[in-house]
């Protein structure tokens, strides 16, 4: 299996600026669909832990897809303009580093306080530890699916 650097090299990634989506043609990647603003917060590098009720054995590159749903209540409570968020599109790439089954102790000792408002941190859920690789210069329209899905470029 190729590492992140090798997979990025195959896509033409140069490591600076925004990734041009056309450099990913012919590359199949796992993708995860999220509601907004969560998808944008991830590709902006602000949300580094995605919380789920399930884990995955997948590690490495993961495309972040913004679904059609926007959590308007969360946006209003946090002074976010709901209309600025792209929907129905792949926004960028992250590296899924690991999944951690959360315990109350782990949440207290390992989760940065600024991350707590971005997810459902509860005992028994799973923390997906993400590292931003790159956000796309222009979001790529795509229909999302539940769970992890194959994004064929």
* Residue 12 lies inside a defined structural domain of this protein: no
* Residue 50 lies inside a defined structural domain of this protein: yes
CATH number of the domain encompassing residue 123? 2.30.130.30
Mean pLDDT in residue range 52-64:
96
Contact 93, 63 (CB under 8 A): yes
Domain interval for residue 41: 28-135
- Cα separation, 28 vs 89, in Å, equals 16
Number of independent structural domains in the chain: 1
DSSP output for 95-120: EEEEEEE--HHHHHHHS-GGGGGGS-
* Residue 74 lies inside a defined structural domain of this protein: yes
* Residue 143 lies inside a defined structural domain of this protein: no
Structure-block tokens of residue 27: 């590359």
pLDDT tens for 91-150 read: 999 999 999 999 999 999 999 999 999 999 999 999 999 998 899 999 999 999 999 999
pLDDT tens for 13-54 read: 444 345 555 555 656 799 999 999 999 999 999 999 999 999
* Residue 9 lies inside a defined structural domain of this protein: no
* Residue 95 lies inside a defined structural domain of this protein: yes
pLDDT tens for 70-88 read: 999 999 999 999 999 999 9
pTM: 0.83
């Amino acid at each position: 299996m190729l590492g992140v650097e090798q997979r990025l090299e195959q896509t033409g990634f140069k490591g600076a600026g925004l990734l041009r989506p056309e450099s990913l043609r012919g590359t199949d990647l796992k993708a995860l669909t999220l509601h907004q603003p969560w998808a944008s917060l991830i590709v902006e590098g602000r949300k580094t832990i995605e919380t789920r009720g399930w884990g995955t054995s997948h590690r490495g590159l993961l495309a972040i897809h913004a679904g059609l749903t926007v959590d308007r209540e969360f946006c209003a409570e946090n002074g976010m303009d709901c209309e600025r968020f792209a929907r129905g599109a792949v926004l960028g790439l992250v590296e899924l580093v690991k999944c951690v089954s959360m315990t109350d102790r782990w949440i207290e000792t390992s989760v940065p306080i600024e991350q707590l408002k971005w997810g459902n941190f509860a005992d028994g859920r799973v923390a997906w530890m993400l590292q931003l690789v790159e956000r796309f210069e222009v979001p790529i329209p795509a229909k999302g699916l539940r769970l992890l899905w194959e994004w064929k470029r």
